[in-house]
Amino acid sequence: MTTAAAIARDLLRIGAVALRPDDPFTWASGRLSPVYTDNRLILSYPEVRTHVAAAFFRALTEAGEVDAVSATATAGIPHGALLADRARLPFSYVRGAAKGHGRQNRIEGRVEPGQQVVLVEDLVSTGGSVLSAAEALREAGAEVVAVLAVFTYGFPEAERAFAEAGVPLVTLTHFEALADAARESGALGAGAGDVLRDWRADPAGWSERVREGG
């Protein structure tokens, strides 16, 4: 079994990913979605947490020369810290915005100019937040070798954003592996796979159609 398939099964088993094609979730953006992902649950399951940490370490070793690990606040922090500890590398994290007090840091921890950094995230949807963090690291003088994430929906807009930013994206698992695992486990009923494919191809349009009862 591939790493992507194994981790997709893990996420479904612990409820980190929930599928409700007939009763969509509402995301923070206001969009409706048949999928909801909460990878923070990984931390509560030692076996899954260790599996994910080992997969991140393999991805780091394949990324080339790396001097440090950084992560997005807040969901990427525990995965990034575990990875940095395993790799015996310096660790930092990047806030969504600079603090409004003290040193007003956006990056917490030390990032040195010229460092080759991998940036850890738990979930990639549009890619906007993690690419903003990558830009903050670049402004601090670091080179972002890759973004490592647990899961990506694989939206076309995210793929374009990473390509335009010139930042490689490496994920442990992805939407296709998740859909396959759900079918194999019987978590998807008849026709649900078509719903998921339609949503992934045009999430904004799908949300509007569902709201309008189409």
**Residue extents of the structural domains in the chain:** 3-211
Average pLDDT along the chain: 92
Q: Encode pLDDT of 98-136 as tens digits.
A: 655 545 689 999 999 999 999 999 999 999 999 999 999
CATH architecture of residue range(s) 3-211: 3-Layer(aba) Sandwich (3.40)
pLDDT grade for 186, boundaries at 50, 70 and 90:
confident
pTM of the model: 0.92
Contact residues for 129 (Cβ-Cβ < 8 A; gap 6+): 72, 96, 121
Residue 13 is predicted with a pLDDT of: 94
